[in-house]
Amino acid sequence: MWFVLGGSFVGLPMFEAGTELRLVSPDLLTVYSSGRVVDDQLVIDLPLDASMEIRLLVFPPDASDAVIAEVLSGAAAIHGQVADDRSDIMVRFANVEDAVSLRAWLMDERGVRLVLVTRRSS
The answer on pLDDT for 11 being more than 70 is no
Q: Which residues contact 63 (CB under 8 A, 6 or more apart)?
A: 71
Fold type of domain 16-117: Immunoglobulin-like (2.60.40)
Q: What confidence score (pLDDT) does residue 122 get?
A: 46
Which 3 state secondary structure label does DSSP give 32?
strand
Mean predicted lDDT score pLDDT of the chain? 87
The values of phi and psi at residue 101, to 5°, are -70, 120
pTM, full prediction: 0.86
**Cα diameter, the chain:** 40
Q: What confidence score (pLDDT) does residue 121 get?
A: 54
Q: What confidence score (pLDDT) does residue 75 get?
A: 83
Q: What confidence score (pLDDT) does residue 95 get?
A: 74
**Angle at Cα 47 formed by Cα 38 and Cα 2, nearest 5°?**
55
Element (H, E) at 54: strand 53-59
Q: What confidence score (pLDDT) does residue 7 get?
A: 42
Q: What confidence score (pLDDT) does residue 16 get?
A: 94
Annotated domain spans of the chain: 16-117
Q: Region 45-63: what's the mean pLDDT?
A: 94
Contact criterion met (CB below 8 Å) for 46 and 19 = no
